[in-house]
Amino acid sequence: MENKAKILTLDNGLRIVTEINDRVRTCSMGVWIASGSAFETPETAGTSHFIEHMLFRGSEKRSSLDIAVEMDEIGGIINAYTAKEMTCVYAHTLSEHMPKALDIICDMIKNPKLSPEDVELEKSVICEELAMYEDSPEDLCADYYYENAWAGSMLGSNILGTVETINGMTAQKLAAHLERFYVPERMVVSLAGNFDENEAVAICSRYFGEMKNTDFPISAVGAEYNPCIATVKKDFMQNQLILGFPALDLNDERRHAASLMSSILGSASSSRLFQRIREELGLVYSVDCASASHMAAGIFMICMGLSEKSEKKAIREALKIISEFPETVTEKELARAKEQNVASLVMGLESVSSVASRNGRGVLLKGRVTPEDEVISAIRGVTLDELKKTSAEILNIDRISFCSVGKVKAESEYEKLLRK
């Protein structure tokens, strides 16, 4: 299948990715910026996320209410997120309203108001968001796990920052971050669906074409993995825990084998962990696997939500399944996982929002859009021997790291349990 994505690079280095699908009646669009927690410092932690919020506080020509009203008038959806290596502002509209939606997004990014009054208001909003995450077992466990497994690297830091860095934020600090990171060479505009390509390029050129390339290319931030045991006492009804291992970065060709391992081990309903720990033994409410790959580092995690009394037995069962996996995984399981992964990819890319997101992230982080058939071929090309070798390298019990939040035990008890 031909790669339908086209990449146009403006003279200043800004890249515009377009993928036309004339069988739909909508357009999804967004701007991806290499501004995230990985590129911050302990003193500037949370700046990227703070700016994401401030973009919705209005631009030089639109108030926050104007942005909301104008998007509602065209029936569009607008939102944003901040991750470890990027910030994204995106929208989805009917095809005929693409010009208006793209104009709003570009205006928000190019001309944010950043008034001191709005900065003060937003501090309280983000501090409330931090407090909300403190009450979420899943989010708190993930944040604390990263912080300890990747201790010493900003890749392991909380995307939201800290109460101290948030309260110390000023309009001047935000403007300085924007000037440094919101530059053409660190930005990608991506559109997918049914739209006028020339009009989209014209809008992007009008807003971003005069920006200067500052010769500040995207540079991968690595992280040294630390086997660790971390706990957080919280009065939750359930404990949340993570068993993790160092894994693969975005450019590692074995990442497809790791994804298949994740499906077989715990991220599918037929997976070993789900069937044994939840269905047969009833020890957990939730169990899942995830392989998180970044530009220069990766983590493989097994996550469980369970009661305090079930924790010890569930961990023992999980360790047994993990230890046996590299030698016992079968061709039948591999074939099933391949179909699950291919189906997930193909079904997901029937959504123009997924296409725009995949293209934007791909060009930003890897410099290209990987053709769908290339990914499918790579997934289906993984052999059982490759899967066994990759899983043996990743699932090394000697390098396990652990985090539990809730009614936790002493760290020494977990140490005995994990090292036994």
Catalytic positions are: 52
Q: Is 194 helix (H, G, I), strand (E, B) or coil?
A: coil
Residue 140 has phi, psi (to 5 degrees) of -65, -40
From CA 217, how far away is CA 67, in angstroms rounded? Answer: 31
Q: Which amino acid is at 215?
A: D
Identify any residues that bridge with 217 across adjacent strands, giving them in sequence order: none
Residue 148 has phi, psi (to 5 degrees) of -90, -40
Distance of CA 222 to the CA centre of its chain: 16
- The β-bridge relationship of strands 26-33 and 187-193 is antiparallel
Residue with tokens 């924007």: 178
Residue 158 has phi, psi (to 5 degrees) of -70, 130
CA distances from 76 to 101, 210, 289 (A): 7, 28, 34
- The β-bridge relationship of strands 187-193 and 15-20 is parallel
